[in-house]
Amino acid sequence: MDYNVWDFTTVNAVKITFWVLALVLILVFIVVLIWRIFFDKNKNNLITNSKNVGSIDKEFDKLIDGLSKNKDFEVIYNILIKNKYAKLNHSLIPAIIIYKNRVFLISNMIKNSINDELILNSKEIALIHNNKKKAIKDVQLHWYNEIIKILRNDFLPSDKFKFEFVVLLKNDIKKVTNETTFMVSNSIDFIEEIENNYENYDELSFNDKLKFIERMQKENLYKIRARR
**Are 29 and 97 part of one and the same domain?**
no
**Are 90 and 10 part of one and the same domain?**
no
In a domain, 110, yes or no: yes
What residues contact residue 138 under an 8 Å CB cut-off, 6+ apart?
51, 55, 57, 108, 110, 111
Enter the pTM of the model: 0.77
**Are 25 and 56 part of one and the same domain?**
no
Q: Residue 42: pLDDT band by 50, 70, 90 thresholds? A: low
Q: Residue 48: pLDDT band by 50, 70, 90 thresholds? A: very low
In a domain, 227, yes or no: no
**Are 55 and 24 part of one and the same domain?**
no
**Are 161 and 202 part of one and the same domain?**
yes
User: How confident is the model over 101-116, as pLDDT tens digits?
Assistant: 999 999 999 999 999 9
In a domain, 55, yes or no: yes
CB burial of 28-62 (b: ≥16 within 10 Å; e: otherwise) equals eeeeeeeeeeeeeeeeeebeeebeebbbbbeebbe
Closest Cα to residue 50, out of 14, 15, 88, 18? 88
**Are 17 and 117 part of one and the same domain?**
no
**Are 30 and 88 part of one and the same domain?**
no
Q: Report the number of distinct structural domains present in the chain.
A: 2
Evaluate the CA torsion angle 93, 153, 82, 89 in order and state its sign: negative
Tell me which residue range forms the domain holding 34: 1-40
At residue 7, the pLDDT reads 65
> Could you tell me the strand order of the sheet in which 90-99 lies?
73-82, 90-99, 102-106, 164-169, 183-186
In a domain, 74, yes or no: yes
Of 68 and 15, the one with more pLDDT? 68
**Are 63 and 116 part of one and the same domain?**
yes
Evaluate the CA torsion angle 53, 222, 41, 86 in order and state its sign: negative
In a domain, 225, yes or no: no
Distances (CA, A) of 190 to 72, 90, 121, 198, 214: 14, 27, 20, 12, 25
In a domain, 85, yes or no: yes
User: How confident is the model over 113-172, as pLDDT tens digits?
Assistant: 999 999 999 999 999 999 999 889 999 999 999 999 999 999 999 999 999 999 999 999
Question: Mean pLDDT over residues 87-109, rounded?
Answer: 96
Cα angle value 47/66/140 (rounded, 5°): 45
